[in-house]
Structure 1
Amino acid sequence: MTQQPDQEKYKIMTYTKTEEIKLSPGDQHHLIHGQEHCFAYVLQQKVKVRIVKQELHTSNRAVAGELFLIPPDCIGTLQNSGSLQATVLLIHFRSESAADAEGSSNARIDNLPYRDSTGLKLLRLPQARSWIQDFQSDCGSDDVSLYYQLQSQLYAMVAALVQATQQPRGTEAGLISFIEHTKQFMIEQINSPMDMEELARSSGVSTSRFYQAFRTYTGLSPLKYITKLRLDASMHMLSGTTASIVDVAHSVGYPDEYYFSRLFKKQLGLAPTEYAQLAKKRVATLVSVFAGDLSALGMSTCLSIIRLGKHQQETVLQQLREAEPDLILAGPLEQDMHAACSAIAPVLTLDWKAYSWKERLMDISEALGLSTVGERWLAYYEIKVQNARMQLKDSLGDEPFLLVHAGQSGFRMFGPRRRKMKDFFYDDLQMASPHSARQIGFLDTPSLHEIADLGCSSVLFLVPAGSSRAYCDQLEKSWLHLKQGDKQRKCMFISYHDRLNYNPLVHDGLIDETVRYFLNYAQ
């Protein structure tokens, strides 16, 4: 249920230049800004910042590794009050609405948030130092690729600033935001050396507190998390490319391919060469759900049919012949179709609606000779489940919640008799179900009234990741209105990507979104 962005609300950022300011002890740099914004990043030491805008005085002390925004139409100073030289990088850019960018004659300069109730807003982002190196490399050249790279990093800074100013003030909220950015940094820089102690120092809290917060967010220590990311990425490379073991190891951040091979076998039960030989098998799926099982094993499909209809059979058979699979994963098939598919490749029939996706994952992994890989995936999943269960318990206690999917054409309430969502929310996470819904599999309705009539105070909405904030706000407003006499009423939102398929990939994503939501909710 995506909506077009409000062109007046969202801005276009245009990077203009980067300058480096060096301040000797006691020196000041005077800021007189016109219509441009400017991000400032402290490279060395610390500076005292004072900004005056429309008679509003804002100040703070920024230390190395911190980022802050200097708004347009302001005056101010950067002062080095330390005993060593301080260095600050200034990244200049313009901000305008889409309408202004199209040539409106009376363009407005709408300010981005640069302060909160306690002063100048300071950010710490694990990605920032690598971004800053890119901005430092800009010497006014005509390198188009570098320009677009700097543009994307500028937008990432703005997004982080807006997110930080929307969150509650406090060390815990700031630390959660830092952990979120650290996770993304690890994903984006998977092939780069990563100093966990440096990341911990950059968080602004003690090393032990950073490690504890990271484990609370992910269920794993930072080292185990990056190791899992790297091995997962290596599986996809080994199964989907012709890259050598050496190239794969280097591509996922291991300069020593022998260490990589030992680590791979220790964690996955197979040497990289053994895994690659098995995982290069061409697999076609006649049910889209199975693609998520293969992804958990580091594989992709050579052909994926979303849904097999009777009138499509001849077309699908032709596609299968062209794909030349080594194995076909299918739901229950009619005898003639099963025989036709079997003439192309061996068929593994899985009655996927009749049993748990966890059992199905193991059935598929065993058929591929990758049972140790499936076992590893489920072991990590269980670690994440236990962690998410604890966050849910801390936030909700034993309070019952209705589970409702908000779709384009209406709502579907999932009861504990419906395996699809019951497995995750009511079994894995042990969320309490309302007594009035315990005999329900699912309930489809065009409005919330019928769901509200079930007598439960609180609801957890499952919404597509692209849903706008305005849409979620309207849902919350509607629910609170329907429950206006209930002091215990609550409304929460978990987003999901792609489709709510009954497979490992979807459940893994739901865990991440659930933990993210409830840790932020607790603040």
Structure 2
Amino acid sequence: MSQQPNSANYRIMTYDSTEEVKLSAGQQLQLLNRREHCFAFVLQQKIKVTLVKKESRISNKAVGGELFLIPPHSVCTLHNAGIQQAEVVLIRFHCERSEEAEDAAELLPYRDSKGLKLLRMPQARSWIQDFQSDCGLSDPALYYQLQSQLYAMAAALLQAVQQPRETEAELISFVEQTKQFMIEQFNLPLDMEELARSSGVSASRFYQAFRSYTGLSPLKYMTKLRLDASMRLLSGTTSSIVDIAHSVGYPDEYYFSRLFKKQMGLAPTEYAQLAKKRVATLVSVFTGDLSAVGMTACASFIKVDNLPREKVLQQLREAEPELILAGPLGEEMHAACSAIAPVLVLEWKSYSWKERLLDISEALGLSSVAERWLTYYDMKVQNARVQLQSSLGDEPILLVHAGQSSFRMFGPRRRKMKDFFYDDLQMASPKSAHQIGFLDTNSLDEIAELGCSSVLFLVPAEASRAYCDQLEESWRRLRQTDQKRRCIFIGYHDRLNYNPTVHDSLIDETVRHLLSSAQ
């Protein structure tokens, strides 16, 4: 059932203007806010902020990269006590209150229990540049963009005030935001040193936290994002090398080509020629193998066994593949598919997905690309092991897939999950599960009887927080005599296929959960 937010509890924010102020050494500037709000962002150096509202007087020091709110009906003094010029960007806006709302001045808070609230957002500098580009001209697209960024700032401020965090938790949150910002804006220039300064901790501490979260340094992570994006463009479009280099953030196409060949073992033109091959998959699991080398299937089936044979063949003919990836096929189906294109049959359930990835990439002439993917994967695995050891030690843990009405417990004899959790991540399995492949049940009681205190639940990414809370409560009740009982929830998207992309996303989710829950 859909739910409508109570609009009486919120305000409508409307962007007004942007102003950049410069404070020379020792200079003070007094800002008198009447009915307007104002976000202030320190571009560089450090300033002392003193804010007086009614009988309240608070102050704080804001440094480059920090954002704070100046509320209406207040007097704010900015003081540059340093010896170098300080710069501050002021973003003014006003709020309209609905008639039903009570006095909502504090619905957009400017302080917390410690005083004036300072906020850090990795995307803030990029947004500030957008606000600075506002010349007062009529540009609807820019206006709506600034409006959305204004609301995002307000949301971040509310979250920071309502959910105060200690320094380490704030750093992990900043790193998580930084990672997402990189994913969304990898094509834009990014100053890593400035990003580190914006974190509020030393550069070495920020780099260490980022590496703990991703398994890579910020520069390596950004490079990987850009080259991964370039592969998708090289394989799926007819764009030139120059255009692709520029579109993924490299203004120098020659540098891009050298970097691409160094990492992939192939020049961009060589890769594009090979990766444009039209490949169809008769098993959905193979799409993850293609994705790892930057390719997309021209036709894909979740499972052909349950489909009319002629329908499958017709779709294959229409897709005009140059290669068909298939699991074991009957003699007639194999012959029919072979009449359309060469068929590579893979006994995918009988051996490791890593070996399968190398087999597929070899057939495509992209072995070096797959090896590069596996190298990055191994780096992430090594990092995840460190986080798991720090969090769990040698404590055994059960692995359970949680559906809406049933559960499947995976034991170390089930290759699908054993390869990742018990081999790659080296999690300890309880002795009671050593001889189990999998156990299907409708009740947690049967799983609890295995005598293990802790459990890792695999849940669909769309599972509600309430569902996870209910699961955790049930588990703790069943294992209430165990002091070390623990629940970990790892979300997954789409299907839990036995392929590279699923394992890669499981690593990200596992590390994210461990680092977030440790704070």
Structure 2 SS opposite 1:318: helix
Amino acid at match of 1:43: L
Contact 1:44 1:88 in 2 (8 A): no
User: What percentage of aligned pairs have identical amino acids?
Assistant: 71
Write out aligned runs for 1:44-123 (5 A).
44-50=44-50, 59-70=59-70, 75=74, 77-82=76-81, 84=85, 86-92=87-93, 94=95, 106-107=100-101, 109=104, 111=107, 114-123=110-119
Using a 3 Å threshold, how does the CA distance of structure 1 residues 173 and 62 change in structure 2: closer, same or farther?
Answer: same
Partner residue of 1:27 out of 29, 45, 66: 29
1:517 is matched with 513
User: Cα offset for 1:219?
Assistant: 1.6
2:16 is matched with 17
Contact 1:178 1:203 in 2 (8 A): yes
1:204-225 Cα offsets, whole Å, 9 max, x none, are: 2222222222222222222222
1:150-186 Cα offsets, whole Å, 9 max, x none, are: 3443454345445545766333222222222222232
Using a 3 Å threshold, how does the CA distance of structure 1 residues 445 and 350 change in structure 2: closer, same or farther?
Answer: same
2:284 and 2:158 map into 1 onto residues whose CA distance is: 37
1:260 is matched with 256
User: Cα offset for 1:382?
Assistant: 0.5
Write out aligned runs for 1:17-416 (5 A).
17-20=16-19, 22=21, 24=23, 25-32=27-34, 38-50=38-50, 59-70=59-70, 75=74, 77-82=76-81, 84=85, 86-92=87-93, 94=95, 106-107=100-101, 109=104, 111=107, 114-139=110-135, 141-161=137-157, 164-165=160-161, 169-416=165-412
Contact 1:13 1:155 in 2 (8 A): no
Contact 1:11 1:95 in 2 (8 A): no
User: Cα offset for 1:478?
Assistant: 2.3
Using a 3 Å threshold, how does the CA distance of structure 1 residues 27 and 115 change in structure 2: closer, same or farther?
Answer: closer
Using a 3 Å threshold, how does the CA distance of structure 1 residues 49 and 384 change in structure 2: closer, same or farther?
Answer: same
1:179-212 Cα offsets, whole Å, 9 max, x none, are: 2222223223322233222222222222222222
Structure 2 SS opposite 1:29: strand
The answer to which of 84-93 and 195-204 deviates more is 84-93
User: Cα offset for 1:416?
Assistant: 1.5
The answer to which of 255-264 and 282-291 deviates more is 255-264
Amino acid at match of 1:106: E
User: Cα offset for 1:56?
Assistant: 7.2
Structure 1 SS opposite 2:28: coil
Structure 2 SS opposite 1:27: strand
Using a 3 Å threshold, how does the CA distance of structure 1 residues 87 and 259 change in structure 2: closer, same or farther?
Answer: closer
Contact 2:80 2:86 in 1 (8 A): no
Give me the TM-score of the superposition, normalised by structure 1. Answer: 0.89
Using a 3 Å threshold, how does the CA distance of structure 1 residues 333 and 169 change in structure 2: closer, same or farther?
Answer: same
1:155 and 1:407 map into 2 onto residues whose CA distance is: 36
User: Cα offset for 1:300?
Assistant: 0.6
Amino acid at match of 2:243: D
Contact 1:23 1:80 in 2 (8 A): no
1:28 and 1:486 map into 2 onto residues whose CA distance is: 60
Contact 1:40 1:68 in 2 (8 A): yes
Structure 2 SS opposite 1:412: strand
Using a 3 Å threshold, how does the CA distance of structure 1 residues 274 and 30 change in structure 2: closer, same or farther?
Answer: same
Using a 3 Å threshold, how does the CA distance of structure 1 residues 472 and 114 change in structure 2: closer, same or farther?
Answer: farther
Using a 3 Å threshold, how does the CA distance of structure 1 residues 126 and 446 change in structure 2: closer, same or farther?
Answer: same
User: Cα offset for 1:44?
Assistant: 4.2
The answer to which of 86-95 and 120-129 deviates more is 86-95
1:434 is matched with 430
User: Cα offset for 1:421?
Assistant: 1.5
1:41-65 Cα offsets, whole Å, 9 max, x none, are: 2234444445678977654322221
Structure 1 SS opposite 2:134: coil
Contact 1:18 1:136 in 2 (8 A): no
- What is the root-mean-square deviation of aligned Cα atoms in Å? 2.8
The answer to which of 304-313 and 285-294 deviates more is 304-313
2:224 and 2:258 map into 1 onto residues whose CA distance is: 14
2:167 and 2:157 map into 1 onto residues whose CA distance is: 16
Structure 2 stretches lacking a partner, 5+ long: none
Write out aligned runs for 1:469-488 (5 A).
469-488=465-484
Amino acid at match of 1:488: K
1:319-339 Cα offsets, whole Å, 9 max, x none, are: 111110111111111211111
User: Cα offset for 1:126?
Assistant: 2.2
1:120-140 Cα offsets, whole Å, 9 max, x none, are: 332222211111111233355
Amino acid at match of 1:7: P
Using a 3 Å threshold, how does the CA distance of structure 1 residues 155 and 497 change in structure 2: closer, same or farther?
Answer: farther
The answer to which of 114-123 and 227-236 deviates more is 114-123
1:56 and 1:497 map into 2 onto residues whose CA distance is: 49
1:268-324 Cα offsets, whole Å, 9 max, x none, are: 111111111000000111111111110100111111112213443211111111110
Contact 1:39 1:70 in 2 (8 A): yes
User: Cα offset for 1:420?
Assistant: 1.6
Amino acid at match of 1:217: Y
The answer to which of 487-496 and 425-434 deviates more is 487-496
1:282 and 1:11 map into 2 onto residues whose CA distance is: 52
2:451 and 2:3 map into 1 onto residues whose CA distance is: 36
Using a 3 Å threshold, how does the CA distance of structure 1 residues 375 and 312 change in structure 2: closer, same or farther?
Answer: same
Amino acid at match of 1:68: F
Structure 1 SS opposite 2:458: strand
Amino acid at match of 2:216: L
Structure 1 stretches lacking a partner, 5+ long: none
Partner residue of 2:5 out of 4, 7, 19: 7
1:54 and 1:475 map into 2 onto residues whose CA distance is: 48
Using a 3 Å threshold, how does the CA distance of structure 1 residues 359 and 74 change in structure 2: closer, same or farther?
Answer: farther
Partner residue of 2:490 out of 469, 475, 494: 494
Amino acid at match of 1:77: C
User: Cα offset for 1:376?
Assistant: 0.8
Structure 1 SS opposite 2:107: coil
The answer to which of 243-252 and 76-85 deviates more is 76-85
Contact 1:23 1:79 in 2 (8 A): no
Contact 2:50 2:58 in 1 (8 A): yes
Contact 2:10 2:107 in 1 (8 A): no
Aligned residues, how many?
Answer: 511
